């Protein structure tokens, strides 16, 4: 009997005639296309996992029961595939749903082309037709994880529903919504790495903006000048060997501009003559010889014409 493939729309469902299924994610690889990983979550009646072991993904590719497992990726003529197999008929009755999800690594699903999920009968041969096909499209373009479809109990059988619900928080955000306990240390390290990358990007942008604001010039490093040179002003002169060269690196050189000399104040005069034997001030009169009386400076004048020198000899003897 020929099996017809059901092309499904978002929200539609289809009953399954088999309890062993193989869900295949297929997409077209290419430059700038992120890698896609398939995963599965086994949910109880509450809509949450019973334990962290109910999460089957690339770091835990097999459920402890062995009834749900993730197969290695393959490349075929139509693209890349990542596959999850499930033996629904042998699952514990406490498992009410099996969610089939996809996550992107290195970008959002906006860049993923021709993403689709195909459901096969796992007991059929490799050339069997798919039971159902659902093309998954990004709703906002910012999704990094998406629920492609879910297998759920209905009476004694199972059905498949096309979902197409996206998550911008990646596989971690999706798993957390279903009750998976995320390692806070690992998540903190991932957040710290993202913050560090963002800070480095912001610092590089700030540096590039500063260089653009300065017109691409750079200052030639120099040594520390003398105190006299520190009082000189500097003027920037641009050496422009040519114009129109985008790789031209213009250098700013500094040419000193002389400053007029400042008047020098005379040294203060001492309150009294320095002690004998010490150097005399440059503008002081020469000191008299040692032991002689200091000369008395009298106003300079001419003697009167009638002035006569007294006779020599004792002047206090009466005649």
- CB neighbourhood size of 145 (10 A): 24
Using alpha carbons, list the distances in angstroms from residue 75 to 27, 82, 105, 110, 229: 10, 9, 18, 21, 72
* Rounded-to-integer distance, Cα 127 and Cα 79, Å: 16
Residue 144's nearest CA partner among 117, 175, 122 is 175
Burial of 182 (0-12, 13-18, 19+ CB in 10 A): middle
Sign (positive or negative) of CA dihedral 239, 242, 243, 247: negative
The whole-angstrom separation of Cα 221 and Cα 2 is: 81
Average pLDDT, the chain: 75
Task: Give 49-70 pLDDT, tens digit per residue.
Answer: 999 999 999 999 999 999 999 9
Out of 89-98, 112-121, 188-197, which region has the weakest mean confidence (pLDDT)?
A: 188-197
Query: How open is the CA angle 98-100-104, to the nearest 5 degrees?
Result: 150
Which one is predicted more confidently, 73 or 278?
73
Closest by Cα among 38, 275, 242 to 136: 38
Ramachandran region, residue 282 (left: φ > 0; alpha: ψ -120 to 50; beta: rest): alpha
145 has which bridge partners? 103, 167
Query: What distances in angstroms separate CA 146 from CA 86, 168, 293, one per listed residue?
Result: 19, 9, 116
d(CA 192, CA 202): 15
169 has a pLDDT exceeding 60: yes
**Arithmetic mean of pLDDT, 221-225:** 44
Q: What is the largest CA-CA distance in the chain?
A: 182
Distance between CA atoms of residues 76 and 148, nearest Å: 21
The band of 240, judged by pLDDT with boundaries at 50, 70 and 90, is very low
Read off the pLDDT of each residue in 11-32 and give the average, rounded to a whole number: 94
Q: What share of the chain is helix, strand, coil (3-state, %, to 5)?
A: 15, 35, 50
DSSP state of 175: H
pLDDT digits (tens, 9 = 90+) for 129-142: 999 999 999 888 89
Three-class DSSP category at 191: helix
């Amino acid at each position: 009997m020929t099996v017809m493939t059901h092309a499904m729309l978002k929200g539609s469902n289809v009953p399954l005639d088999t309890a062993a299924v193989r869900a295949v994610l297929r997409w077209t690889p290419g430059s700038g296309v992120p890698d896609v990983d398939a995963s599965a979550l086994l949910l109880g009646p509450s809509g949450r996992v019973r334990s962290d072991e109910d999460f089957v993904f690339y770091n835990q590719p097999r459920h402890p029961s062995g009834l749900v497992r993730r197969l290695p990726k393959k490349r075929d003529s139509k693209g890349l595939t990542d596959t999850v197999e499930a033996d629904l008929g042998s699952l514990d009755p406490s498992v009410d749903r099996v969610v089939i999800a996809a996550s992107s690594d290195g970008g959002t699903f906006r860049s993923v082309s021709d993403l689709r999920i195909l459901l096969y009968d796992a007991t059929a041969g490799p050339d069997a037709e798919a039971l159902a096909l659902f093309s998954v499209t990004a709703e906002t373009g910012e999704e990094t994880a998406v629920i492609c479809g879910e297998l759920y109990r209905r009476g004694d059988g199972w059905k498949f529903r096309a979902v197409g619900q996206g998550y911008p928080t990646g596989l971690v955000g999706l798993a957390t919504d279903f009750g998976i306990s995320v390692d806070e240390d690992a998540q903190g390290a991932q957040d710290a790495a993202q913050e560090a990358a963002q800070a480095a990007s912001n610092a590089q942008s700030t540096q590039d903006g500063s260089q653009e604001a300065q017109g691409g010039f750079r200052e030639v490093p120099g040594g520390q000048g003398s105190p006299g040179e520190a009082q000189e002003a500097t003027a920037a002169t641009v050496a422009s060997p040519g114009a129109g060269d985008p790789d031209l690196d213009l250098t700013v050189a500094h040419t000193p501009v002389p400053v007029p000399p400042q008047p020098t104040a005379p040294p203060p005069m001492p309150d009294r003559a320095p002690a004998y034997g010490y150097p005399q001030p440059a503008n002081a009169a020469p000191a008299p010889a040692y032991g002689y009386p200091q000369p008395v400076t009298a106003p300079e004048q001419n003697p009167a014409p009638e002035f006569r020198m007294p006779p020599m000899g004792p002047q206090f003897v009466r005649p």
